Amino acid sequence: MSAPVFDPATYDAQLAEKKQRLIELLAPFAAPEPEVFDSPREHYRLRAEFRLWREDGQRHYAMFAPGDKHTPILLDDFPIASLRINELMPRLRAAWQASEALSFKLFQVEFLTTLAGDALITLAYHRPLDEAWQAAAEKLASELNVCLVGRSRGQRLVIGRDYVEEELTVAGRRFRYRQPEGAFTQPNGAVCEKMLGWAYEALGERDDDLLELYCGNGNFTLPLATRARRVLATEISKTSVNAALANLADNGVNNVELVRLSAEELTQALNEVRPFRRLAGIDLKSYDFGSVFVDPPRAGMDPDTCELTRRFERILYISCNPETLAANIAQLSDTHQVTRCALFDQFPYTHHMEAGVLLERR
């Protein structure tokens, strides 16, 4: 991750540019004007990753401009990161400066925090971690009131939990989430909460079933499950599946079946191309799907998965890459039209943006 150019004075102009870009991308599909959900101007990013750079005999937090691995940007703080990360940065640096066990061959630090105030720090090393490291790390975790993960080749030592706990409110209900170290989570918690609220409202109250592809740790699954009769959700990452199952149980959500399949594999299963052992016990024919929710990776949906979504009355689509979103809409535009769209500014001060569309059958 490279450091964005941070200048709150430019925020409104940048957001207006993103809105205009999204309008232009969706113009061929006669999309309505996007609803715009802005970000906090600073302290919005809940996770951050820093390389460490030695200078004057000390290790410093460092980032690099894209394409330049040799000119570090040394940091004492990081204004776009959460207040919790900024509070932890100097305290962690003081701890490694005071401890050979913590600092020896330490090359990378990752912070993962939540709006609820939880924090986990991952320390990555070019050496095996021993009992001296374990003792120092346990003391540090207690002093900082964080969980710690130590990583080196073939080693992963956990002090406390290997996940943080988040709470997000959607339509007046609080949902609790376990967010594992090393797995994907939305980096901008305030905007994530707005995305969940928009998706909840756009789906509406349904008396039929929902298919969800790329469900991750259940970020959208939990609130959307309260809008449908039943949900069949899929995710390929084992870490994310385990977190999603825990999150469903923690929140008492019991109308969701979760299967560890890729979107492409589920498409094959629904098309009866081949059976999957991981679908044993799940009667696909018993579902009455009216809507599909997708939140694919940057590459968007592959053509076969895109064709699968065409079967549904409603396609609710969250995208981190509006270019591939537009390409997918183009494939669907003969049968579905965009009836709602939104811009979510997950990544201020960068060109990246998150978008949402509701496509309904013509």
Q: Among residues 257, 320, 341, 360, which one is catalytic?
A: 320
DSSP annotation string for 206-249: -SSEEEEES-TTTTTHHHHHTTSS-EEEE---HHHHHHHHHHHH
Active site residue 354: yes
- Do the Cβ atoms of 126 and 105 come closer than 8 Å? yes
- Are residues 89 and 78 in contact, defined by beta-carbon separation less than 8 angstroms? yes
322 within 8 A of 29, measured Cβ to Cβ: no
| CA 312 to chain centroid | 25
- Phi and psi at residue 307, in whole multiples of 5°? -65, -40
Helices then strands, each counted (H, E), the chain: 10, 17
CA distance 141 to 159: 7
Binding residues for S-adenosyl-L-methionine, as ranges, are 186, 214, 219, 235, 295
Q: Which letter, b or e, does each residue of 38-56 get, where b requires 16 or more Cβ atoms within 10 Å of its Cβ?
A: ebbbbbbbbbbebbbbeee
Backbone angles phi, psi at 99, to 5 degrees: -140, 115
* CA dihedral angle for residue 330, residue 333, residue 338, residue 339, rounded to 10 degrees: 180
Categorise residue 89: left if φ over 0, alpha if ψ from -120 to 50, beta otherwise.
alpha
Handedness of CA 28, 360, 200, 289 (dihedral sign): negative
User: What b/e sequence results for 266-289 when a residue is b if at least 16 CB atoms lie within 10 Å of its CB, and e otherwise?
Assistant: bbbbbeeeeeeeebeeeeeeebeb
| Beta-strand relationship, 354-361 and 336-344 | antiparallel
Annotated binding residues, as ranges? 186, 214, 219, 235, 295
Dihedral of alpha carbons 51, 54, 59, 63, sign: negative
Q: Is 320 part of the annotated catalytic residue set?
A: yes
- Residues labelled as active-site residues: 320, 354
